[in-house]
Amino acid sequence: MTWARVKARLLEAGAVRLTGAPVDRYIERSSAGPSAGGAGSVFFSAGGRRVRLEIRPEAPLVLEHTGSGHARILMDDDVLEGELEQVGLHCPRQAYITVSAGCIFRCRYCPVPTQPERVKSPEEIERMIENVIDRIDAISITSGVVGSVAEEEDRVCTVLEKIARFKKPVGVSIYPREGTPARLKALGVTEVKFNLETATAALFGEMCPGLRRDALWTALRESVAIFGRNRVFTNVIIGLGETDADIEACIRECAAEGIIPVIRPLNPVAGCSSYVRPSAERLLAVCSLHGEILREAGLDPRLALTMCTACTGCDLVPGRDSDGER
Ligand code: SF4
- What would the DSSP string read from start to end of 233-288? EEEEEESSS--HHHHHHHHHHHHHTT-EEEEEE----GGGTTS-PPPHHHHHHHHH
Q: Which of 76-80, 89-93, 183-187, 292-296 has the lowest mean pLDDT?
A: 76-80
The confidence band for 285, taking pLDDT boundaries of 50, 70 and 90, is very high
User: So what's the pLDDT on residue 167?
Assistant: 97
Compute the distance between CA of residue 143 and CA of residue 152 in angstroms, rounded to an integer: 8
- What is the C-alpha end-to-end distance of the chain, expressed in Å? 11
Phi and psi dihedrals of 205, rounded to 5? -60, -35
User: So what's the pLDDT on residue 100?
Assistant: 97
Q: What is the mean predicted confidence (pLDDT) over 65-89?
A: 95
Write out pLDDT tens, residues 154-194.
999 999 999 999 999 999 999 999 999 999 999 999 999 99
Q: What is the mean predicted confidence (pLDDT) over 241-252?
A: 98
Q: Fill in the amino acid letter for 170.
A: V
User: So what's the pLDDT on residue 63?
Assistant: 97
How far, rounded to the nearest angstrom, does the alpha carbon of residue 217 sit from its chain's CA centroid?
A: 19
Q: Which of 28-42, 230-244, 247-261, 287-301 has the lowest mean pLDDT?
A: 28-42
Q: Is the CB of 233 under 6 A from ligand 1?
A: no
Write out pLDDT tens, residues 10-67.
999 999 999 999 999 999 987 655 556 567 999 999 999 999 999 999 999 999 999 9
The confidence band for 129, taking pLDDT boundaries of 50, 70 and 90, is very high
Q: 145 forms bridges with which residues in the sheet?
A: 103
Q: 142 forms bridges with which residues in the sheet?
A: 98, 173
Which of 308, 312, 315, 321 to probe ligand 1 with, by most ligand atoms within 8 A of CB? 308
**Ligand 1, atom 2: nearest CA belongs to which residue?**
308
Report how far ligand 1's centroid is from the alpha carbon of 35 (Å): 9
